[in-house]
């Protein structure tokens, strides 16, 4: 017979990972990265993002990101990201958007975001990626529900724009699990919650 502890360990091993990745400037700006990353995006970053896409089967978006992306990606034709983001399962954290959502495979998250993510983690599938949603990412980090977060730091000072964290956030200890430097001077730091 298995003990409750071994059952819990088995359950933990089978949980889906929740990941997040944010483009950032040296001074910590993560809002509107297209305004500062254009001359530093390189092939290595493209390859890394391809690997993330390859293991992701569910995406979580906030309302703002959903509205921006739903207005662009369904008709985009750059031979890349749209081939992933349009058909993938998408869950949207919103209190204002009505269902059904127009963008294919998009569903409004019912009820509490944290409870929904816990249930999603316990289900079947590949990785769950939080994409382009600062408030959702912050909330899930504070709740201990992000398993890995990557900051893709471009060699630029943005000067203005939103940061991910707020002065009122609870301190959260993280462990650096991987770091990579690319040919154009980007640094990708990946962290996990400290055990």
- What CATH code is assigned to 15-193? 3.40.430.10
For the stretch 86-129, pLDDT in tens is 999 999 999 999 999 999 999 999 999 999 999 999 999 999 99
Whether the full predicted model's pTM is greater than 0.75, yes or no, is yes
The 10s digit of each residue's pLDDT in 18-32 is 999 999 999 999 999
- For residue 14, the model assigns a pLDDT of 77
Hey, is 37 helix, strand or coil?
coil
Does residue 100 have a cis peptide bond before it, meaning omega lies within 30 degrees of 0? yes
The predicted pLDDT at position 6 comes to 46
* Beta carbons within 8 Å of 108's beta carbon, 6+ residues apart: 91, 92, 94, 97, 99, 101
Output the pLDDT for position 1: 47
Round to whole Å and give the CA distance between 2 and 27.
50
């Amino acid at each position: 017979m298995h003990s409750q502890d071994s059952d819990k360990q088995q359950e933990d091993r089978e949980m889906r990972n929740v990941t997040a990745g944010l483009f950032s400037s040296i001074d910590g700006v993560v809002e509107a990265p297209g305004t500062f990353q254009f001359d530093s995006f390189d092939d290595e970053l493209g390859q890394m993002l391809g690997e993330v896409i390859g293991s992701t089967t569910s995406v979580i978006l906030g309302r703002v990101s959903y509205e921006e992306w739903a207005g662009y990606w369904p008709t985009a034709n750059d031979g890349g990201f749209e081939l992933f983001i349009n058909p993938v399962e998408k869950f949207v954290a919103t209190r204002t958007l009505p269902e059904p959502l127009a963008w294919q495979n998009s569903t409004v998250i019912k009820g509490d975001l944290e409870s929904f993510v816990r249930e999603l983690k316990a289900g079947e599938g590949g990785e769950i990626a939080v994409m382009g949603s600062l408030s959702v990412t912050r909330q899930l980090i504070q709740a201990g529900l992000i398993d890995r977060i990557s900051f893709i730091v471009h060699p630029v000072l943005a000067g203005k724009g939103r940061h991910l964290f707020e002065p009122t956030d609870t301190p959260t200890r993280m462990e650096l699990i991987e770091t990579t430097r690319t040919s154009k001077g980007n640094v990708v730091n990946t962290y996990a919650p400290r055990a």
